[in-house]
Amino acid sequence: MSGRHQLSRPSAGLKRAALPLGALLGVVVAAGATVVALRLWDPAGGCTGELPLYVTAAAAVEPVVKAAADEFHQARPAVNGKCVKVEVRPLNSADVAAEITGPTIPGQKVPALWIPDSALWAQRGKQQVGSSAAPSSVASIEPGQSLASSPLVVVAGPGTGEKLGGAVSWRKVVDGGVATSIGDPAGTTEGLATLMLIRSLLGNTDGTPRPELVAALLRVGRNTMPLVRDGFDKLAGEPETAPAFSATEQSVIAHNRRGVGAKATAFYPEEGTIAFDYPLTRVASREEAPGTGEAAESFGRFLRNESTGKRFRDAGFRDPGGRADQAWADAGVSTNPPSLLPLPTPDQAAEVLRTYSAVTLDARMLAVIDVSGSMAAKAGNGQSRIELARDAAGTALGLLPDTTHIGLWAFSTDHAPNRHWSELVSLGALAEPMAGMNRRAALGAAAATLPGKVKGNTALYDTLLAAVRTVKKDFDSKRVNSVVLITDGANDNRSGLDLNSLVQTLTAEADPAQPVPVIGIGLGPDADLNALQQVAKVTGGKAYAAREATDIRSVLMDALIQRRCRPNC
């Protein structure tokens, strides 16, 4: 479905003044055997009992839908003598999609009508209902016409808005040059839509992530908000320093009308954007009361009439075709139609969420870097291998969130006897204070010293076993525990473990409840990839060959993505 689609304007709907007393609309059902009468106007109040019509709407449109329901009730609509009672509740679209497609819950109020903020959720719900083998109270989900629209924009206050400059792009939002934030992609459509836009710019056409996409997702993941409202709250309290964030155009209008704090400005990225389209979606339940379908159809027509359309415009929404109310000119938004990109498919959304969840998983990682003499050799781009390893560590360090736990070791035979490694920084949270700085700064400083430590031979096997045991000792079940080792050679410590002994020991000590996968990165042509592969196999990790200097970044980003499935990839 494309955000560029033009929907025909619905008819003005049925108006009470034009209806004759006691007008009836006959609806033929069940092969024509039964006629269900829907009374649209009954001033005598002839209906008895209630027919509940449950409607769930995205929070932004709920006030409009609730006001429309109140007006709808004034006509005392009835089906088969029962008074139709519309009950509207606001609920996050992602939560509704999970709720109505999940297992049947006794007493659950399944909405007969659902108005998500994007057709993406309605399509995802329809797909899940059609493919699920689990019993569900929902028989079908049918997305319908949009009731309104609102494009996703970049929102900024006076301080950050000035830094963004005139030409705003999604690339500028994620490149780290300007402080930015997004809503949690797992819980907000704004956050998920932003990820989809980033993926369209930086992802491969086959759906696999490029290193640039992984880096962008890591930067974005460090600054997410549980609710988009948090971005407006920040802007109101700290207008000069509040980060830019993505939100709907309608939410900018609503914020500025409240007049609380600094005025927000909507920026329209030059690459285009995605429109939120609020489709009226019919959810048919297996256990819904007789007449529910007729009541839903009647209220649906009412939601598409001119009176409700005006309510949407007054609330800051564009019409389904993207036309804006010219009265918004001073509301911090543009009334021009923005360039729209196609709405992503449910499968595309699921793929980018999987990638995002992988790269933003909380990790507990021990980085182990070879400082044997051969690491001084040139890597092919003018840098030495140890400088390449240093810079790769710095890249990861700059992208990972403060909650990540990282430690750093250096290893070669040129250390104390029977201990061929040195702990440069202990394993712990990046934000944790230590010696006048936090661990992130300490790791950066320690990594800078690595080129000066190069000497000795490669004590690979003993170091690997010690690293795995160290991580396992204080295993954290809430994080992905792993060892990431970078080396350019083969084990040449003849007084220590051999490969068979290492593999046997790792196999014997493996605990499925406390996995510690080893991610081995072999630099250059002399790295012992066979040994790294055997260790990776028994620990549930992976071995990578970085033959060229340019490979190290791609290898590192892939290793970060693979964390999601370790040790069962």
Tens digits of residue pLDDT in 150-168:
999 999 988 887 777 767 8
Adjacent-strand bridge partners of 338 = none
Confidence of residue 91 (pLDDT cuts 50, 70, 90): very high
Q: What is the mean pLDDT of residues 338-351?
A: 88
Give the pLDDT score at 223: 78
**Residues 6 or more apart whose Cβ sits within 8 Å of residue 545:** 522, 527, 529, 551
Confidence of residue 35 (pLDDT cuts 50, 70, 90): very low
Give the pLDDT score at 38: 45
Give the pLDDT score at 217: 79
Q: Reduced to 3 states, what is the DSSP secondary structure of residue 362? A: coil
Residue 394: is its pLDDT beyond 50? yes
**Structure pTM?**
0.73
Give the pLDDT score at 454: 94
Give the pLDDT score at 106: 66
Token code pair at residue 456: 């000795």
Give the pLDDT score at 551: 76
Confidence of residue 24 (pLDDT cuts 50, 70, 90): very low
Give the pLDDT score at 25: 25
Give the pLDDT score at 240: 87
* Least confident stretch, 107-111, 123-127, 251-255: 107-111
* Least confident stretch, 284-288, 349-353, 367-371, 378-382: 378-382
Token code pair at residue 347: 């499968």
Q: pLDDT, tens digit, for every residue of 559-569?
A: 666 665 555 55
Percent of the chain with pLDDT over 70: 85
Distance CA 357, CA 221 (A): 9
Q: What is the mean pLDDT of residues 463-472?
A: 96
Average pLDDT, the chain: 84
Q: What is the mean pLDDT of residues 478-484?
A: 89
Adjacent-strand bridge partners of 522 = 487, 545
Q: Are 383 and 426 in contact (CB under 8 A)?
A: no
DSSP string, 493-549: -TTS--HHHHHHHHHHH--TTS---EEEEEESTTS-HHHHHHHHHHHT-EEEEE-ST
Structural Rg of the chain based on CA atoms:
30
- Residue keyed to tokens 């693979």: 562
Give the pLDDT score at 175: 76
Check residues 20 and 183 and name the one with the higher pLDDT. Answer: 183
Amino acid of residue 355: T
Residue 9: is its pLDDT beyond 50? no
Give the pLDDT score at 204: 67
Q: What is the mean pLDDT of residues 369-390?
A: 89
If we measure between CA atoms, which residue out of 334, 147, 349, 193 comes closest to residue 252? 334
Give the pLDDT score at 560: 67
Give the pLDDT score at 4: 34
Q: Are 228 and 145 in contact (CB under 8 A)?
A: no
Token code pair at residue 181: 């934030």
Give the pLDDT score at 46: 67
Residue 553: is its pLDDT beyond 60? yes
Q: Are strands 433-434 and 437-438 parallel, antiparallel or unpaired?
A: antiparallel
* Least confident stretch, 55-69, 240-254, 321-335: 321-335
Residue 557: is its pLDDT beyond 90? no
- Residue keyed to tokens 């497609």: 101
* Sheet (strand 405-411) strand order: 421-429, 405-411, 363-370, 480-487, 518-523, 542-546
Distance CA 523, CA 329 (A): 58
Give the pLDDT score at 37: 38
Confidence of residue 506 (pLDDT cuts 50, 70, 90): very high
Q: Are 555 and 546 in contact (CB under 8 A)?
A: yes
Q: Are 127 and 101 in contact (CB under 8 A)?
A: no
Percent of the chain with pLDDT over 90: 51
Amino acid of residue 36: V
Give the pLDDT score at 295: 97
